[in-house]
Amino acid sequence: MRKTIIELLEVTPTYYDEIVLHSFVDWCIGFNPTAYSLQQALLSKPIQRYFKDTYETLEEQFIKEIQEYKGLDASAKNEFYATITNQIFKSYPGALIPKYKKSKQPILNQN
């Protein structure tokens, strides 16, 4: 599906990866009030899977709906993609979050 999205949006693979990464980080920021809880959410495999599954569902919706609109330029396709995928920000993985909000200390460099 990644390749299909890249072709539809007429973007580079790197740019596509940036879009998804920024979406993930911004989405995590939205429900994590502390630096520590944000770090925990970003590292959490269950949260990553939840985001990935939800985001892929939205991308499938985009692919299905964009087929109805022929002749759109890249800018219009990108705007439509953003409209569809930004619905991720209405999604909240409540069952996966509460345990991360208890600590207030950020994880320091562990190197």
The answer to whether the CB of 85 falls within 8 A of the CB of 62 is yes
Q: What is the pLDDT of residue 93?
A: 83
Predicted local distance difference test score (pLDDT) of residue 13: 97
Find the length of the chain.
Answer: 111
**Confidence band (pLDDT; 50, 70, 90) for 8?**
very high
Note the pLDDT tens digit of each residue in 26-46: 999 998 888 888 998 899 999
Write down the pTM of the prediction: 0.84
Q: How far apart are CA 62 and CA 65, in angstroms?
A: 5
Question: Considering only CA atoms, which of 94, 15, 37, 28 is closest in space to residue 55?
Answer: 28
* pLDDT one-digit tens code per residue, 45-81: 999 999 999 999 999 999 999 999 888 999 999 999 9
